[in-house]
């Protein structure tokens, strides 16, 4: 029995077999150890057990293309949001878009245009990375950013007419983007270049989220980030980072999930969990307790770490902005 030949055959139909087997290095280490310690006759049985375990654990786990396509869907959503609200980069703004743009100071408007351009660039990057595997851009009428899902306008009815509402939705989308990339990263570990690219998008989403939050805190017409402090109602006057569960978000019924818990899907490795953003426990240790001598508030411990979110929860959040019946997300 030539185990390496078998793995090679499996690799032809499942290029990620080595990742399912933990890693290329460990499987070969494991196998060479078997050869020494087990009788030859027992090797096939042991090998079968390894394969069963590998595939049983990860039979549903998303592959690299799955993760990238999911990220692409989110970027389509984000890009559509800014393009619909502010107008496309080289397009002519409609009357409604012009009116919304007039609600921001020139500096803040430039920031939003920059963010729009970044999101459009993310779409282009992911489409290039995926090549022919990239899912198509959805039709413009796929989205309903009022949160009404295509029916009666939802909680964000003024999303494209009131700057404050626009920024609230933007914050929810950007914070979701940060958590979504964080949740997807472990599944990209088999491809180092793709993982690094995803991390480089991830931190840009965090820069966006921070800027939007600063803007919300200071007001759409106020450029001075230094002249304001976070209010007691953080759903309306947030810090530049996620503090606690941020008052449930700008519309708690619709956006609480953005800052809340995620439930790990069956395929998720046991080492990955999805606590809410108010979490103060890292690596299984309650840091507020373990580091109590620092005398920092619980908020500081939650702020110091952004949490990941699993795909199903991110999908639920995204569906808030997709018309009923659409199969896009």
Partner 1 sequence: MNSTSLSRLFAARPVRRRTFFRVAGATAASSALVLAGCSKDDETPEVTAEQTFTLGTGDTGLLNYAYLLEQLEAAFYDKVVATPPSDMSAAELAYFTDLRDHEVIHREFFKFALGTSAIGTAVFNFGSFTLTTRAGVLAAAQTLEDLGVAAYNGAGKLFIDPVYLGVAGKIASVEARHAALIRDLVLPNSFAAADVVANDGGEFDGLDAAKTPAQVIAVVNTFLNITISAAGLPS
Window 105 to 134, contacts with partner 1 (CB under 8 A): 107, 110-111, 114-115, 117-122, 124-125, 128
Report 177-196 residues binding partner 1 (CB under 8 A): 178, 181-182, 185-186, 189, 192-193, 195-196
- Please identify, among the stretches 8-16, 54-62, 145-153, 202-210, the one whose residues bind partner 1 according to the rule CB under 8 A: 202-210
Candidates 133, 122, 125, 93; CA nearest to 109 is 93
CA 246, 249, 255, 256 torsion-angle sign: positive
Over the window 207 to 226, marking each residue x when it contacts partner 1 by CB under 8 A and - when it does not, the resulting string is: xxxxx--x--------xxxx
Interatomic CA distance for residues 183 and 309, integer angstroms: 5
Interface with partner 1, residue 176, by CB under 8 A: no
Interface with partner 1, residue 266, by CB under 8 A: no
Interface with partner 1, residue 78, by CB under 8 A: no
Output the smallest distance, CB 302 to partner 1, in A: 10
Interatomic CA distance for residues 175 and 272, integer angstroms: 19
User: Cβ neighbours of residue 224 under 8 Å, at least 6 residues apart?
Assistant: 218
Interatomic CA distance for residues 121 and 157, integer angstroms: 28
Interface with partner 1, residue 239, by CB under 8 A: yes
Output the smallest distance, CB 186 to partner 1, in A: 5
Over the window 8 to 47, marking each residue x when it contacts partner 1 by CB under 8 A and - when it does not, the resulting string is: ---------------x------------------------
Which of 200, 286, 289, 324 contacts partner 1 by CB under 8 A?
A: 200
Output the smallest distance, CB 219 to partner 1, in A: 13
Output the smallest distance, CB 123 to partner 1, in A: 9
Interface with partner 1, residue 234, by CB under 8 A: no
Output the smallest distance, CB 3 to partner 1, in A: 23
| 3-class DSSP assignment, residue 41 | helix
Interface with partner 1, residue 70, by CB under 8 A: no
CA distance to 11, 178, 276, 304, per residue, from 273 (Å) = 29, 16, 10, 17
Output the smallest distance, CB 150 to partner 1, in A: 29
The DSSP line for 218-271 is: H-TT---GGG----S-TTTS--SS--TTGGG-SSHHHHHHHHS--PPPTTS-TT
The DSSP line for 98-166 is: HHHHTTS-HHHHHHHHHHHHHHHHHHHHHHHHHGGGPPPPPPGGGB-TTTTTTSS--TTTTTTT-HHHH
Report 272-301 residues binding partner 1 (CB under 8 A): 272-273, 282-285, 287, 290-291, 294, 296, 300-301
Output the smallest distance, CB 117 to partner 1, in A: 7
Interatomic CA distance for residues 224 and 264, integer angstroms: 40
Q: 173 vs 322, which CB is nearer to partner 1?
A: 173
Interatomic CA distance for residues 97 and 85, integer angstroms: 6
Interface with partner 1, residue 267, by CB under 8 A: no
């Amino acid at each position: 029995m030539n185990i390496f030949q078998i793995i090679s055959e499996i690799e032809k139909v499942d290029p990620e077999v080595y990742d399912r087997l933990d890693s290329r290095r460990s499987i070969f280490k494991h196998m060479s150890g078997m050869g020494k310690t087990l009788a030859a006759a027992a090797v096939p049985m042991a090998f079968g057990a390894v394969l069963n375990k590998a595939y049983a654990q990860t039979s549903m786990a998303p592959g690299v293309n799955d993760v990238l396509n999911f990220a692409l869907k989110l970027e389509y959503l984000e890009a559509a949001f800014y393009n619909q609200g502010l107008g496309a980069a080289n397009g002519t703004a409609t009357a409604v878009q012009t009116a919304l743009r007039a609600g921001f100071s020139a500096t803040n408007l430039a920031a939003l245009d920059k963010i729009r351009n970044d999101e459009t660039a993310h779409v282009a990057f992911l489409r290039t990375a995926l090549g022919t595997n990239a899912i198509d851009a959805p039709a413009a009428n796929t989205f309903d950013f009022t949160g009404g899902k295509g029916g009666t306008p939802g909680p964000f009815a003024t999303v494209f007419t009131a700057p404050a509402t626009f920024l609230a939705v933007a914050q929810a989308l950007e914070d979701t983007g940060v958590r979504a990339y964080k949740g997807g990263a472990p599944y990209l570990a088999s491809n180092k270049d793709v993982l690094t690219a995803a991390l480089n998008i991830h931190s840009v989403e965090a820069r966006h989220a921070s800027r939007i939050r600063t803007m919300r805190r200071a007001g759409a017409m106020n450029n001075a980030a230094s002249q304001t402090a976070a209010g007691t109602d953080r759903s309306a006057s947030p810090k530049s980072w996620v503090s606690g569960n941020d008052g449930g978000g700008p519309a708690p019924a619709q956006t609480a999930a953005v800052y809340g818990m995620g439930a790990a899907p069956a395929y998720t490795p046991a080492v990955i969990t999805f606590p809410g953003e108010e979490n103060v426990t890292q690596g299984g240790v309650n840091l507020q307790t373990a580091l109590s001598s620092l005398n920092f508030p619980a908020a500081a411990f939650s702020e110091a770490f952004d949490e990941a979110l699993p795909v199903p929860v991110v999908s639920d959040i995204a569906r808030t902005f997709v018309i009923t019946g659409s199969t896009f997300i």
